[in-house]
Copies of this chain bind each other. A is one copy, B any other.
Amino acid sequence: MTAAAGSRGAGRERLVVIGGDAAGMSAASQARRLRGPDELEIVAFERGHFTSYSACGIPYWVGGHVQERDRLIARTPEQHRARAIDLRMRTEVTEIDVDRQRVRARDVDSGAESWTSYDRLVIATGARPVRPEMPGVDAPGVHGVQTLDDGQALLDTLARTSGRRAVVVGGGYIGVEMAEALINHDHEVTVVDRADEPMSTLDPDMGRLVRTAMEGLGITMAGGTAVTKVLTGDDGRVRAVATEHAEYPADVVVLGIGVRPETSLARAAGLPLGAHGGLLTDRAMRVRGYENIWAGGDCVEVLDLVSGQERHIALGTHANKHGQVIGTNVGGGYATFPGVVGTAVSKVCDLEIARTGLREKDARRVGLRFETVTVESTSRAGYYPGASPMTVKMLAERRTGRLLGVQIVGREGAAKRVDIAAVALTAGMTVEQMTALDLGYAPPFSPVWDPVLVAARKATAKVRASMS
């Protein structure tokens, strides 16, 4: 127990949580489950208006699949408070004083500041969207889609621009999901991306399949070109997006370029940050070198179990797991987060996109030599109605045959098939071991050889050939 804890007497400790979204509030809730209010006081600071909401759901709310904003909120401030969590909304932590074990917080509306001491601290400050520095980026009609407030502002704009032209900047998963949302609002959609092919979380050959499918949906794909400025009309609102080569008329612009860890507080406090700007933790999600500070969610780097290196991945599912692990440890239990294999799934209309493990360039970067195969198969037995084509790309290490990564592009039933590879990667399986996997087979669900097994067979043959 720390000195500060002792100073409050009666052995009652105080946990301070910075950030009221998935990681922070999962940690708080789990700690509360394990330790009652008599043992542990929990104070949580959130600078925004909402707690525990699904940022991943925003494209579907904007796109109209989800009717009400509040459906994205897993737990309201009131619900947290009912569980004896002292949640302070619209209160921004402005400093972490590690030496004196306290944080300074500012009431966003009044500007009043005060210090709160802690025995244990959880940093869950999330990520901030990349907002390109360029003329016009702050013009009305240009929207991010990071927060619920962002989503509402975009919906307000879309109510006025239906039937008109939208430009999405960025062809990653936020970009492609927003393209679908904008189609649902009857916009003509253009996606502008710096990379030649969209979904640069895939290899370019798989990204090309996504581009072709998106073009088939009527989306204009402008790849290999960077946005240089946002042009505005006489009314000051956006009227076009300019690249080095062209101008794309736009009544609304959505920025979907990605996010960076929000670690300015941590940096100022001297906490350890990694190459991607995220906090570095141990397996128990403790900030490295600090016995009583934990961090999780979009503000940390995670270990990639396949490459052995740290990465930054902003995903709600990781944030929830981190929170669970942190809360268990803060609550006196024991849990660890071993790392990730880099699984991600998304969709554009009926196109499903999935990846796990390493792309070709990731494997090269960490010095791995590998073989790749790409196979075409179907989601169901070929004779069963609704069988849809599916492309599976697989990377396997040379000589050892260890699975390194899988990418899948297809229709219904494509995305979640990547879980087979995610588990196999976690277990360190070879592609030859995978060929014997006892996967669910019945004609409505799979060909007699599941597409992942077809890829594993072909990869096995290629690995063997590489050894002779």
Which residues of A pack against B, CB within 8 Å? 22, 54, 56-57, 60, 65-66, 71-72, 173, 315-318, 320-321, 324, 336-347, 354, 356, 381-385, 413, 415-420, 422-424, 426-427, 429, 433, 435-446, 448-450, 457
Given contacts A417-B416, A420-B419, A423-B427, contact A440 B383 (CB under 8 A): no
Q: Which of B71, B72, B423, B448 contacts A317 (CB 8 A)?
A: B448
Given contacts A317-B439, A449-B320, contact A383 B57 (CB under 8 A): yes
Q: Which of B71, B354, B420, B442 contacts A56 (CB 8 A)?
A: B442
Return the 4 tightest CB-CB contacts between A and B, nearest first. Answer: A427-B427, A345-B440, A317-B441, A423-B423
- Contacts beyond the supplied A60-B384, A422-B437, A426-B438: 8 A-B pairs with Cβ under 8 Å: A60-B383, A65-B385, A66-B385, A315-B441, A344-B440, A354-B440, A415-B440, A415-B442
Taking CB atoms, residues of chain B closer than 8 Å to A438 are 317-318, 340-343, 356, 422, 426
Whether B448 lies near A320 (C-beta < 8 A) is yes
Taking CB atoms, residues of chain B closer than 8 Å to A318 are 438
Chain B minimum-CB-distance residue to A334: B464
Given contacts A316-B441, A424-B423, A441-B345, contact A416 B446 (CB under 8 A): yes
Whether A443 lies near B60 (C-beta < 8 A) is yes
Taking CB atoms, residues of chain B closer than 8 Å to A457 are 324
Taking CB atoms, residues of chain B closer than 8 Å to A413 are 416
Minimum CB–CB distance from A454 to chain B (whole Å) comes to 11
Whether B384 lies near A443 (C-beta < 8 A) is no
Whether A338 lies near B427 (C-beta < 8 A) is no
Whether A439 lies near B419 (C-beta < 8 A) is yes
Minimum CB–CB distance from A211 to chain B (whole Å) comes to 20
Q: Which of B65, B337, B444 contacts A384 (CB 8 A)?
A: B65
Whether B442 lies near A346 (C-beta < 8 A) is yes
Most B CB within 10 A of own CB, among A383, A417, A423: A423
Taking CB atoms, residues of chain B closer than 8 Å to A383 are 54, 57, 60, 66, 71-72
**Complex Cα distance A338/B429, Å?**
14
Whether A57 lies near B381 (C-beta < 8 A) is yes
Chain B minimum-CB-distance residue to A347: B444
Taking CB atoms, residues of chain B closer than 8 Å to A173 are 442
Q: Which of B384, B415, B435, B445 contacts A57 (CB 8 A)?
A: B384
Minimum CB–CB distance from A446 to chain B (whole Å) comes to 7
Taking CB atoms, residues of chain B closer than 8 Å to A60 are 383-384, 443-444
**Complex Cα distance A338/B436, Å?**
7
Chain B minimum-CB-distance residue to A357: B438
**Complex Cα distance A317/B420, Å?**
16
**Complex Cα distance A315/B445, Å?**
14
**Complex Cα distance A446/B383, Å?**
28
Given contacts A60-B384, A66-B383, A385-B65, contact A426 B437 (CB under 8 A): yes
Taking CB atoms, residues of chain B closer than 8 Å to A56 are 381, 441-443, 448
